[in-house]
Structure 1
Amino acid sequence: MNRWDDVLEVRLPLPFPLQVVKAYLIRGCTGWTIVDTGLHSSEGIQTWEAIRKQEGFQWEDVEQIVLTHYHPDHYGLSGWLQLQTGAPVRISRTDFDQAQLFWGDGSRQPEAMAAFYREHGLEQEWADQIPAHLRRFNRWITPHPQPVWLEAGETIRLGDRTYEILHTPGHADGHLSFYDSERGWLLGGDFLLPRITPNISLWPGCDPNPLHTYLSTLNRMKSLPVKRVFPAHGEMFEHYRERIEQLEQHHQKRLRSMRQWVEQEELTATEVCFREFGQNLSIHNLRFALAETLAHLEYLRQQGESDRQKREGHWRYSA
């Protein structure tokens, strides 16, 4: 556990490959702010209870819960924490709506995802696993919170300091980051990570060109004078601009690789995915790998560098 002045890092366990997500607890003279929450699991609750006792505050001392985006490891425990604290949960309206799209009552997104993947060449035996796999997350994100909307371009008090609310989409359509311009500190969620690349995925019903969005976000954010980044995965880091440039280079390299595959022959996104990421993937990892492959292929297509045709029920990409 690390502490920087008023900002305390909270390491929350995850039952999938990332293993840990970082939330942040910010102390102020009128109470505490929680930034991101982890999953609704017994381990997550135990971690928060241990932190509360260690820091010596009661749940009613939490004045707000602020979310960078809707993904389960950030959003999942927000409803439970709201019930304990009575505090408002603040999130972008876009991301709350997408939480409902994926995990709201009566959601058909799991079936839409399976059909979407089938159109892009995923074998039926794999696609049939998608709905149950996605619905497994419901237990980790309910109850849903009663939200208050955050608007990019405005400011918010976190603890005793004023942060600018920045829209940093790509990883999630309504992803927000929080910037303290006096210190040059950025609470970045999954916008910028020090060691791994944020997953950029194409999902039905969401941004149709998320990689273009993410690259535009990186370019727009590059000039921000950031001295420290507090990420959701990995350690606090200070090489902000260098890391942005590394991620830009990573995606350009992957775009070149995928373009070479479809120059050689006409391929489905699933075929490209297995060539890029290998075939020894769990259903969890395959879902992300295929969605990231699609984000890159659709970027190429919308840039005019590739084409696609539907043959025998499957979309096939060519240069």
Structure 2
Amino acid sequence: MKRIRLNNTVFEGLNNVYVLDGGDDDPAELTLVDAGVALPEVREELAAQLRALGHDLADVDRVLLTHWHSDHAGLAGAIQSASGATIHAHEADAPLVAGDEASLLEERDLQAEKFREWGMPDDRRAELSDFLGDHMDLGGEPCDVEPFGDGDSFEVNGRTLEAVHLPGHAAGLTAFHDADADEAFVGDAILPKYTPNVGGADVRVEDPLGRYVDSLLRLIDLDPDTAWPGHRDRIDDPAGRAATILRHHVDRTENVVEVLRADGPSTPWEVSAALFGDLHGIHVLHGPGEAYAHLDHLASNGLAERDDTRYELLDDDPDVGALFPDPGIDRVVEWDGGE
């Protein structure tokens, strides 16, 4: 396995694309895990780095996508056009990757409704809509996509990769687990420096924080020795990192409770401002989305009540810890270096 790092100045920094080619002397199938964002310069960068490994873009046989976000799936269509490669995406994300117009329109309409529900001011809503519209092309050209489901497996040059569905950050986010090598390609399920956004990154996910916590627990139970994330460096203790992120969400929920206790009934936008301050670019989506995910989790568990756009505490001193299962791991795995 080789890693290619692709530039990404729009979202969360450098993207990882993993090259599974069977080794230098094996004329085996060329499979990529993820594809990078659809910018001409990034396409050329991918082609150049593949050439440095002895391959052409036209040699790619398959692309396994961890999820539909354009920084991971944007170049899938260009790769397919160049090579005829088969593109695989989880069934929840496949229509968006394929460029299905009805699915794209439904996702945009749902975003607009969420912006209203989050109490996003009109001027900031217009700013965000302009930003998203300006970057719509990053999703790339339409392509044919073969959907897969949780538990499906892929035979790649003598290794078996099992699809492990880990929704939260995205509805279809999936890791590809090699049990023999004890490693998993995890996309943005866990990341080594920061925590993946939950709530804003994919508004299609219902109960986003609850779903994400379940995914973290599943990853802890899977307990691979190594995780290869969608951004930055290898994670050497994936279960420990997942447990650390889970505890972070307990702390963040406590912070949300403190805002509601101090300010009274509040919108996700107002809670986001209290937690994160003034936001710009894609973070105008991610900030209130993250606040919403935690407010929704409180409301779903009977500790808060939503009235249109506002959430109010029902218990002035709620037991937040009881909302989250014990991960069973005490290790704290924080980022300590790398890109």
What's the TM-score, normalizing by structure 1?
A: 0.90
The amino acid that maps onto 1:268 is T
Match of 2:31 among 12, 33, 39: 33
| CA shift for structure 1 position 245 | 1.2
Q: Which stretch shows the higher mean deviation, 154-163 or 68-77? A: 154-163
* 1:110–1:135 contact (8 Å) kept in structure 2: no
Say if 1:180 and 1:108 are closer, same or farther in 2 by CA, change over 3 A: closer
Listed one character per residue, the Cα deviations across residues 181-230 of structure 1 (whole Å, up to 9, x for unaligned) are: 11101111111111110111157861221110010111122122311110
For this pair of structures, how many residues does the alignment match? 308
Listed one character per residue, the Cα deviations across residues 158-192 of structure 1 (whole Å, up to 9, x for unaligned) are: 33311111111111111111111111011111111
| Partner in structure 2 of residue 277 of structure 1 | 276
| Partner in structure 2 of residue 291 of structure 1 | 289
For 1:102-117, what aligned pairs fall within 5 Å after superposition?
107=105, 109-110=107-108, 112-117=110-115
Distance 2:151 2:127 in 1: 41
Distance 2:248 2:238 in 1: 15
* 2:268–2:291 contact (8 Å) kept in structure 1: yes
Q: Is 1:209 equivalent to 2:203 in the alignment?
A: no
| CA shift for structure 1 position 135 | 2.1
The Cα RMSD (Å) is 2.1
| Partner in structure 1 of residue 170 of structure 2 | 172
| Partner in structure 2 of residue 4 of structure 1 | none
Distance 1:169 1:56 in 2: 35
| CA shift for structure 1 position 259 | 1.4
For 1:176-215, what aligned pairs fall within 5 Å after superposition?
176-202=174-200, 206-215=204-213
| Partner in structure 2 of residue 163 of structure 1 | 161
| CA shift for structure 1 position 86 | 0.6
SS, match of residue 129 in structure 1: helix
Say if 1:100 and 1:109 are closer, same or farther in 2 by CA, change over 3 A: farther
Say if 1:191 and 1:37 are closer, same or farther in 2 by CA, change over 3 A: same
| Partner in structure 1 of residue 5 of structure 2 | 11
Say if 1:290 and 1:129 are closer, same or farther in 2 by CA, change over 3 A: same
Listed one character per residue, the Cα deviations across residues 221-250 of structure 1 (whole Å, up to 9, x for unaligned) are: 212231111001120121122111110110
| CA shift for structure 1 position 104 | 6.1
Q: Is 1:79 equivalent to 2:77 in the alignment?
A: yes
The amino acid that maps onto 1:113 is Q
| Partner in structure 1 of residue 311 of structure 2 | 317
Say if 1:108 and 1:171 are closer, same or farther in 2 by CA, change over 3 A: closer
* 1:39–1:75 contact (8 Å) kept in structure 2: yes
Higher normalized strand content (fraction of residues)? 1
Distance 1:90 1:15 in 2: 26
| CA shift for structure 1 position 34 | 0.9
Distance 1:105 1:172 in 2: 15
Q: Which stretch shows the higher mean deviation, 106-115 or 62-71? A: 106-115
SS, match of residue 88 in structure 2: strand
* 2:166–2:174 contact (8 Å) kept in structure 1: yes
The amino acid that maps onto 1:52 is L
| Partner in structure 1 of residue 227 of structure 2 | 229
SS, match of residue 283 in structure 1: coil
| Partner in structure 2 of residue 303 of structure 1 | 301
Moved over 3 A (4+): 98-106, 108-112, 202-205
| CA shift for structure 1 position 63 | 1.5
The amino acid that maps onto 2:17 is A
What's the TM-score, normalizing by structure 2?
A: 0.85
* 1:101–1:109 contact (8 Å) kept in structure 2: no
Distance 1:114 1:228 in 2: 38
* 1:102–1:110 contact (8 Å) kept in structure 2: no
Q: Is 1:267 equivalent to 2:269 in the alignment?
A: no
| Partner in structure 2 of residue 55 of structure 1 | 53
Percent identical across equivalent pairs?
25
Distance 2:197 2:248 in 1: 12
Match of 2:44 among 46, 69, 79: 46
| CA shift for structure 1 position 52 | 2.2
Distance 2:239 2:104 in 1: 43
Say if 1:236 and 1:204 are closer, same or farther in 2 by CA, change over 3 A: closer
